[in-house]
Amino acid sequence: MQAVGVVAEYNPFHNGHRYHLQRARAVTGADVVIAVMSGNFVQRGEAAIFNKWQRASEALHNGADLVVELPFHWAVQPAHLFAQGALLLLSAMQVPTLVFGAEHEQTDFAALAHATVNDSQAFKTFNETYATLFNAQLESQTGFRLDQPNDILGYGYAVANSKLSSPLRLVPVARVGSEYHDVQMNPRGFSSATAIRQTVLGHQRGVNVAANVPSETFADIRHLTPLKGWSPKMWALLRHTLLMMPIASLHQIYQMSEGLDYRLKEAAETQANWDDFLAAIKTKRYTYSRLQRVCLYALVHALDDEMIPGQTDYLRLLGFTSAGQQYLNAHKKTFGLPIVTRFDQTLKKTTLNLDYRAGMLYEMLSGQAQDFRHDPIRIDNK
């Protein structure tokens, strides 16, 4: 069976995602579409609107055949590490092709990655963010500027792919409908996830949403309680953590560098709500996404040796269709990483301990049981 891979957050799953899955199958002729999906927390350091099981189910009903969770230590990282983790998992599953959305699908991302030199030491300055400095260098070298989210990820995929011993074929497809950060609902049925989240979380309970999402997602919107990216409860937990944790312990949190620990602790003492806290810690040096990720790291007490690339990876199966199960049966013995189908006490204490802590945080926020009470979702699509 021929497989094609996609990488997504599905936050939530919408018509554009369904189109992406359809295009991935069409342009490659694949029998099976494998999605590597973020778990309960997404790349910008926020809680997903619905838990990973709900989002995996939405995907499996709308074109995906196999959904694998991108581990926390990859999912809540900058774009280049997010891309690296996803490519490693697809490579381990012997997927030959990645199809990804792009704002400029005609761009030769592999050539762009090859033409640039990413020297992190060159960006050691306190006056601008890494992204700003990197883009200035990229534009000076190639004339191209990475300022669209999917293009940035496409570049990340190309860089990560170049480091694999057996690189995948990268196939960009045009993003359709609204722009990534567009907050207005699109009457043609292709609104951004941002617009859909804002509408749903604005307590409109599906107004103007039905035409923009598959029926499974709409059912979740209507009948389940969506979770805000940084809810008052999540902020309260973070504030308590920052106030109670000694500065020496806070300093050990992943990416807590250059006095950021003191800055966060001081702001937690003086700011009563999340938006004011975030504004108080913002500087030109750090993007909002970077700050949100660091705050999430603090909430789950993520340390360097748990987050830096190179630790043990695994294939956490969230669900599969009949076709996905056939692919697993045919290839799982030659996968390059161990498959995890059921959570147990050993995994809780070892390989998946960080994912367990993240899952418990989401369970506290949502009241929805996560890892221990779930087996992979099975959908018969014969």
Pick out the residues of the known binding site. Answer: 7-20, 101, 150, 175
Indicate the annotated binding residues for ATP. Answer: 7-20, 101, 150, 175
Q: Which of 352, 380, 337 is nearest to 371 (CA)?
A: 352
Measured CA distances, 340 to 117, 314, 347, 348, 355 (Å): 37, 7, 9, 12, 12
Compute CA distances 53 → 33, 39, 264, 266, 346, whole Å. 18, 9, 33, 37, 22
Q: Is 343 helix (H, G, I), strand (E, B) or coil?
A: coil
- Angstrom CA distances, 211 to 72, 191, 207, stand at 32, 9, 10
**SS3 label, residue 250:** helix
DSSP for 120-179 reads GGGG--SSS-HHHHHHHHHHHHHS----SHHHHHHHHHHHHHHTSSSPPEEEEEE--SS-
Q: Cβ–Cβ contacts within 10 Å for residue 114, how many?
A: 11
**Is-contact 6 20, C-beta < 8 A?**
yes
